[in-house]
Structure 1
């Protein structure tokens, strides 16, 4: 039987989730989570010592995300996303289906090269520009928006460095980056490829066979792409400030590379990220005399507050005995064999991520498996299943990942309406198949490998 504190915490938590999903009168998701977190703090379920611990956890990740947001806004302001959109349209050669796969490939590579949050911030404006240029109707544009977002977020699973929470958890289970890639890359990649195929089949009728063939000209002065006479198409790139493009891209690449090169030396990722962001802002100011006001206005600050609130709520659940219940009820299944370890923890983290967000879910799941007394290999497989559940399974609902919330915020800023119902109508068909396939591939791959 549940004790009174645990019961109260569960009721509070699910009340917050229901209000957040319902969002009466268009209520922002931070309002119910803030109210729930405040109640938990006032009741003393989460003491001040835990608040400081939560702040330390959230602040580093939040500042790293903030640096990515700042860099993406700078790139957008100098026309980088419009330039990418221009090139994708040209290379799709009037084929809507070719455009679909180009966008999916772009989103996947951006996440592999940067991280899932950065990929969303980079690719969403690109897709918006493409849809605007091609004058796509909402029904035609929807497959491109949601498919790009799902692939960009899921693509954080194959390599640990694409997701900060994965990197943090690696230390807990004693798994190196190389070992992670060896055990995880193929299974998660197979699952992502299956999801991409399922998305194409799901939207096949909505994706236009042909898109308008546009003769485009870049106007750097007004920062727009304009229709032009086909005879002048070869001159369309001449107005781009290539020096600014190249320097900014170099800073972004250097910053991302520094995450992996400098983190082993104990340098916090947020220091690296913010240094790169401020350098990018300085370069833009030096070249164009544009200040920083636009960057601060466009940053989705409420998403960071949401992450902190969710951590407070999850810590409250842990403090009233949630971890003990998890270990008590799942330990026997997970210890039985590697198939169980993969399936049970993957499906459990999927559920947990979609009601708590995947950042705190990974922490709860990882800490729980370390308390189960598992052998080293079983613990590693259970952890990798955690990652699949939190990176792929978490896509069932928008609340599952911070990247999805950022994506919805960006769409709203551009007056593009995609409801939670529209989102989940797709994900509840596509994601479960990709999730189970990824977990099965994880089990089979590691059985064959070891």
Structure 2
């Protein structure tokens, strides 16, 4: 009965986060639900405080990297990326798709999936219009790669950060193991995109009149490069990546003289509160029986079949309850076995490309396309997901299995 009650609370929190009536922040329901769980004794307050303390540094990094991505956009990094993409494409739709894949993959890996969805997607749409290509392939690519291209670095996705501390890997060690799965997943996605959107890619491009290309934002690009290097250098010294991201954001904010009000707004503190509230609600569901159920489903061995099974379970759970709660549920069950933990990440990062509700980033992408008069088709999104998700999961897990043997992890 307690499991059912806490599960209903979790369902309510997620339903509100998906629907966001009147544009209200996700925290409007998540925070009161977490307080209700503690007040009613469904979760001891000490456990809730401990969970918030454990999630705090990760949520702090989330705020810092959202700010870093916004300031990079203010410096013109994404406008420059769009102009460079258009130039590389040569007004050929197939080359444009390849260039978007590269730009979105790198943006997701370095600046997280939120930067790809919020800042790169509008640039991708504008670039398609500028080159005269049909926008659907590039627009869908930004959504898919915001999820699946987030496998490379611990800082690429909130799910990665939640699992990174439990993995026992260093920053560079994580990147070394996940580099091959990252490439394999992106190539699998690209091959299917080329086939699925073959009619759009064959259509002749009619380039619009374009202005002059923006100059390269050298200062911002140098700061971003140093920030990325800082993630790798600082981690062995026990410095959390959130401090590195904050330093990079400050360096970008000073020349623009950004007001504190704007900094607070772009750090998206309501969403950070949502993540903390969601963590407390998920912990209550786990402690009232979900942990035992998940433990029974997770295999003990770490062979190829077991890795595939765990990735499939993670992908399924991500589409049932969203990938963030799925990560919070699965990480404790597999943290003693790093190979299974990394397979979980493939599942929760690739799996959300199947349905809109798989990740909050996909829901945000959908809102952005509606706002720019390019509404995605739910049936088309599902059909594309049915092709890409199984293929990318298998490719990613096979590559992970090989990578684990190469690196000796």
**TM-score bin, normalised by smaller chain:** 0.7 to 0.9
Go from structure 1 to structure 2 and tell me whether the alpha carbon gap of 1:77 and 1:163 turns closer, same or farther (over 3 Å shift).
closer
- Cα distance in 2 for partners of 1:82, 1:283 equals 18
- Cα distance in 2 for partners of 1:18, 1:217 equals 44
Contact 1:81–1:125 (Cα < 8 Å) also in 2: no
3-state SS of 1:211 partner: coil
Residue 148 of structure 1 is matched in structure 2 by 142
Q: Does 1:400 align with 2:358?
A: yes
Which residue among 188, 194, 199 is the counterpart of 1:194?
Answer: 188
- Cα distance in 2 for partners of 1:297, 1:19 equals 21
Which residue among 218, 226, 229 is the counterpart of 1:254?
Answer: 226
Question: 1:284-337 CA distances to partner (integer Å, 9 max, x unpaired)?
Answer: 23xxxx64655555565543343233212211111212212222x225xx2356
Residue 100 of structure 2 is matched in structure 1 by 103
What runs of 5+ residues in structure 1 fail to find an aligned partner? 219-235, 372-378
Contact 2:64–2:267 (Cα < 8 Å) also in 1: no
Instruction: Please identify, of 113-122 and 198-207, the stretch whose mean Cα deviation from structure 2 is larger.
Output: 113-122
What runs of 5+ residues in structure 2 fail to find an aligned partner? none
Which has more radius of gyration?
1
Residue 280 of structure 2 is matched in structure 1 by 312
Contact 1:113–1:162 (Cα < 8 Å) also in 2: yes
Alignment of 1:62-77 (within 5 A): 62-77=59-74
Q: Does 1:330 align with 2:297?
A: yes
Contact 2:61–2:242 (Cα < 8 Å) also in 1: yes
Q: Number of aligned pairs?
A: 408
Identify which of structures 1 and 2 has the higher relative contact order when contacts are C-alpha pairs closer than 8 Å and 6+ apart: 2
Residue 226 of structure 1 is matched in structure 2 by none
Q: Does 1:91 align with 2:58?
A: no
Structure 1 runs (4+) deviating above 6 angstroms are: 22-28, 447-450
Residue 330 of structure 2 is matched in structure 1 by 365
Alignment of 1:6-405 (within 5 A): 6-18=3-15, 21=18, 33=30, 36-134=33-131, 140-163=134-157, 165-167=159-161, 169-177=163-171, 179-207=173-201, 209-218=203-212, 240=215, 245-285=217-257, 291=259, 296-297=264-265, 300-327=268-295, 329-331=296-298, 334-335=299-300, 338-370=303-335, 379-405=337-363
Query: Could you say what the CA RMSD is over the residues aligned between the two structures, in angstroms?
Result: 3.4
Question: 1:333-364 CA distances to partner (integer Å, 9 max, x unpaired)?
Answer: x2356134202211222223334443443343
Contact 1:115–1:162 (Cα < 8 Å) also in 2: yes
Please, what TM-score do these two structures have when normalized by structure 2? Answer: 0.84
Shift in Å at residue 270 of structure 1? 2.1
- Cα distance in 1 for partners of 2:261, 2:176 equals 44
Please, what TM-score do these two structures have when normalized by structure 1? Answer: 0.77
